[in-house]
Amino acid sequence: MPTLDTHDPHIANIFRRATQEREHQDKRLADIFGTQKVPKVTEETLAIYLHYLNQHLEVPCQLTGIESLGCFAWEASYIFGRRRPKEYAQRKKKEPSYTDIYTFLSFEDAYDPYDGLAVKVKRVPDSKRFVLPFAHLKATEKPSNNAQLLDDYVVWFVNGRR
């Protein structure tokens, strides 16, 4: 496998832009907490982030799953393993799917540093309601303020639990 030439102007530009975006994201996140550095995930920082999101998330907001992991892990065996379309379709009627579109309803009051924030959502086609981890969702409308808010939260939550 060839190695990347970091002196190649195209590769260097990609690294520079990625570094700048990460720095901008870190600044946005630190600003939420009023700190110089991005803090770790704790009950206290989750409370601060929840308050921030309640003030800044634009409603109505439509969401979908990021991937077939986490709360959507039940789907992996149907996607990557046994392909039983009828059984999969029946389960999708009862359980939330990462491919579904949801309308954001509200945040749950309870949260913890392991699971993070949870949201009440309503599945668009059938109005079935679920409570899902906020870190497993993304905004359907991109680019948008909500897409940036969700992406920032996911990056902070996943990286800040260490």
CA distance 111 to 53: 14
Residue-wise pLDDT tens digits, 78-92 = 888 777 888 889 999
Judge whether 72 and 100 are in contact, CB under 8 Å. no
pLDDT of 159 > 80? The answer is: yes
State the pTM of this model: 0.85
Which residue matches tokens 């059938």?
A: 126
14-32: pLDDT as tens digits = 777 777 788 889 999 999 9
- Mean local confidence (pLDDT), 133-156: 96
Structure-token pair, residue 88: 């999969």
What is the model's pLDDT at position 23? 86
